[in-house]
Amino acid sequence: METHQVLQNHHSSHAFNCPGCLDPSSSHDRFCMPLCCPEKIPTTLFSSPNSSFSMEELERLQECIESANNLLLALGSPRDPDNTRMLQLHFLALRKNLVEVKIQCDKEVFEILGQLETAGQNFLQIERIGKTTFVLFERICSVNRNAGESEDHMQALINIGECERRELVLNFGNFVARKPALANLFFGISLHLQLLAYIGCQVVVKKDGEEKLIEGILVRSKEGYIQIKKMDELEQINFDDICLISLDAVK
């Protein structure tokens, strides 16, 4: 009886809560849980070598092979809306690198140079001095990384906090749905969704077949088209006719 009473007292004073019920604002940084992990015991690890390369060289080689295979898989398959994910992942690996993009517009090819900010399901977002430029995949002839830039890839989730990591593990769907950048990273979003964050901004559109640039306020972005307000009139532009969209970089 005494042992049973002790166990009851112990359980009542240390009530168990599932991780999903813990307060994310907790001061603890152990995956937002108030329980500390046990101290790790140093253990000698032995593994048989599977390559003549060092571990660092082997990892770099495997990354290069995987990147090349993904790119070849994307480029070697027909272009369609369901076949751009591999291409997006290849471009995401070049985030924060200086790139040179060749664009096909009105039977001519021209180049833009800037930092690759992100890649979506069907577009690249390139940051230039004071400008943000969007280019659809179907307009791209080539993308070359600047030879003087670092080859270190940007890991998008490396600096997120413990509470954000916990939300990704325990509440993935709702958490990602509220974060367009995460939705793009995990699934890829199209250009019309990315442009929703720029509604009300001054934009410049280069349209295929027209030398004159179209300038105005972005008032609507829907699947297949955007609407720009110029003075007192609205102009609707189909994405199929757009070579690029440029606007002032949002700070």
Does a structural domain hold residue 217? no
Cα(101)–Cα(241) distance, rounded to whole angstroms?
A: 19
How much is the pLDDT for 10? 45
Does a structural domain hold residue 96? yes
Strand-strand pairing, 214-222 and 202-207: antiparallel
pLDDT tens-digit readout, 34-78: 556 667 778 777 666 666 778 788 788 887 777 777 666 655 555
Write out the residue range of the structural domain in which residue 72 sits.
65-145
| 8 Å CB contact between 242 and 208 | yes
Does the pLDDT value for residue 249 go beyond 70?
A: no
User: 22-31, 59-68, 75-84: which has the minimum mean pLDDT?
Assistant: 22-31
Amino acid type, 27: S
Does a structural domain hold residue 156? no
Nearest Cα neighbor of 145 from 116, 166, 125 is 116
Strand partners, 126: 116, 133
Measured in degrees and rounded to the nearest 5, phi and psi for residue 240 equal -65, -25
Does a structural domain hold residue 214? no
Question: Region 86-113: what's the mean pLDDT?
Answer: 87
How much is the pLDDT for 151? 47
How much is the pLDDT for 134? 95
Domain count, the chain: 1
Does a structural domain hold residue 197? no
Does the pLDDT value for residue 195 go beyond 80?
A: yes
CATH number, domain at 80?
A: 2.30.30.100
Does a structural domain hold residue 183? no
Cα(115)–Cα(58) distance, rounded to whole angstroms?
A: 28
Share of the chain above pLDDT 90, in %: 23
Does a structural domain hold residue 199? no
pLDDT tens-digit readout, 196-245: 889 999 999 999 888 889 999 999 999 999 999 988 889 999 999 999 99
Q: What is the CA radius of gyration of the chain?
A: 25
Provide the 8-state DSSP code for 122. S
Cα(8)–Cα(27) distance, rounded to whole angstroms?
A: 29
Q: Mind giving me the DSSP string for 188-210?
A: ---HHHHGGGGTTSEEEEEETT-
pLDDT tens-digit readout, 114-163: 999 999 989 999 998 888 999 999 999 888 887 555 444 556 677 777 78
Does a structural domain hold residue 128? yes
How much is the pLDDT for 77? 53
